[in-house]
Amino acid sequence: MKYIIDRLLLILAVLLAAALSLCYGAYLPLSSAFICTLAISCFLSDGRKTKWLLFAVSFALLTAGFITGRLSLHLIAGIAAMTAAETLLVMDIRGGRHKCKIKRSVRKKITGIAGWAANGIVLLLASLLFLIPFCANALCSSVMSAAAPKQAAVSSDVTDDNITAVCDVEYPSSYPNNTLTVYEAPNAEGTIFYIHGGGFVSSDKDADYEKPLIRKWLQAGVSVVSVDYALAPEYRYPTQITECNDALRYIVGHCADYGIDPEKIVFCGDSAGGQLAGQLADIQTNAEYAASMGIEAAMSGGLKPAGFISMCGLLDFPKCAQTGLPLADVVFNLCGVIEFNDVDYAVGPAAKEASVIDNATADFPPSYLSEGNTCTFTEQAKAFEKKLKDLGVPVTVNFPQTPTLYHIWEFSVETDSGSKNAELQVRFLHSVFEK
């Protein structure tokens, strides 16, 4: 029975590790499953020097992966560990070291089948090094599309006799989806430059879920510019932020056409849109950062955003898959893989460049941050609050502890929490427009 237990442990650990490697950014559990399997095989093996050499090599790869945070190294460690475990078990069983009463011919058949299965899994793990971005595209696009609310064209549920909408205005850009809609509130105090979320792979400026909150802003005397941009995987980083800067440049250059005061524009976004709005604010207020990206800030001559509103924004991209809820981390991690086309994006320079927190300076505009308490980027918002306070930037936060509030809960304005948050947003807007 001993070799049967070996096989069962081997197969269970491989299936667990393979599932984790497909989409979950928890690197340590992934490789630990492989290494534990090898350790079990070493313990059950009758070999001496060889097994511990194989274990040492695999453990070294695990350590390297843990230190660097690179998923690719963890997969390689897994390949090495599983190959070593398979080799030890097959050698022991075929060599008769496991003392069992099953005939040698039967043992050969069993180990042969198990060997082919294990080798196939090793091949799968190796292919994941190259296929994860492709798998992520298919899986994450499906998940985000299914989760996103139904979308429709701009309708009377946003505009009325007092509010007009200039729809699908095309702004100059080298990329597609380069349109925006301008909602003009009568006697507007200022304007929200709104960038929608959707994990960089879905949604648009006319999504139904946005409209109730947009209506609240308009009724409070705030005009809204809602921006579309090209989506991943067809267009990846830094396409989206470049295009949002293009849209802002158009608005700044055509303020008179839409009754917009260029000194009273607040950047706003939810989820991925919060990341884009925050990074756009970094670009307008940090000349060195803009130059390093090769982007010319749309606001110049002392002009800068009047404020920034983040609704469950992705403010620290390298920590995209650290919400504390594994299922949420799966989806968010896949969005990061898609956006950067890199399994190891979390430790790459592009994700660090896209971090709103890392690139904010004392010139960052006054901010309003709202966050949920489940399945979202709560710790990032708290870290950004601290960073802004340390920089001396005025910041207002709304991080309710109860009730349970999920990612982008702010759009549920029919609830007590959503309604209160909308009121706090309006209060913040009035405060920055009065300055």
pLDDT in tens, the chain (435 residues): 555 555 555 555 555 554 444 444 444 455 555 556 555 555 555 555 555 666 666 666 666 665 655 656 655 666 666 666 656 655 555 555 544 555 556 655 665 565 556 555 555 555 554 455 555 555 555 555 554 444 333 344 676 768 889 999 999 999 999 999 999 999 999 999 999 999 998 889 999 889 999 999 999 999 999 999 999 989 999 999 999 999 999 999 999 999 999 999 999 999 999 999 999 999 999 999 999 999 999 999 999 999 999 999 999 999 998 888 877 887 888 889 889 988 788 889 999 999 999 999 999 999 999 999 998 999 999 999 999 999 999 999 999 999 999 999 999 999 999 999 999 999 999 999 997
Residue 301: half-sphere exposure toward Cβ, Cα within 13 Å: 4
The structure's pTM equals 0.76
Number of domains the chain is built from: 2
Question: Two tokens at 347?
Answer: 């430790």
Residue-range definition of the domain harbouring residue 421: 164-433
pLDDT of 403:
94
Q: Looking at the domain assignment, is residue 155 inside a domain?
A: no
Measured CA to CA, the distance from residue 191 to residue 207 in angstroms comes to 19
Could you tell me if 272 and 200 are in contact, meaning their C-beta atoms sit under 8 angstroms apart? yes
Burial class (CB in 10 A: 0-12, 13-18, 19+), 85: buried
Q: Looking at the domain assignment, is residue 258 inside a domain?
A: yes
Q: Are residues 27 and 169 in the same domain?
A: no
Question: Two tokens at 2?
Answer: 């001993």
pLDDT of 350:
97
pLDDT of 328:
80
Residue that terminates a domain, selected from 92, 113, 147: 147
Q: Are residues 247 and 345 in the same domain?
A: yes
Q: Are residues 300 and 427 in the same domain?
A: yes
Q: Are residues 127 and 188 in the same domain?
A: no
Q: Are residues 93 and 133 in the same domain?
A: yes
pLDDT of 322:
87
Q: Are residues 395 and 429 in the same domain?
A: yes
Residue that terminates a domain, selected from 116, 147, 178: 147
Strands (DSSP E) found in 144-270: 164-170, 179-184, 190-195, 222-227, 265-270
* CATH (domain of 301): 3.40.50.1820
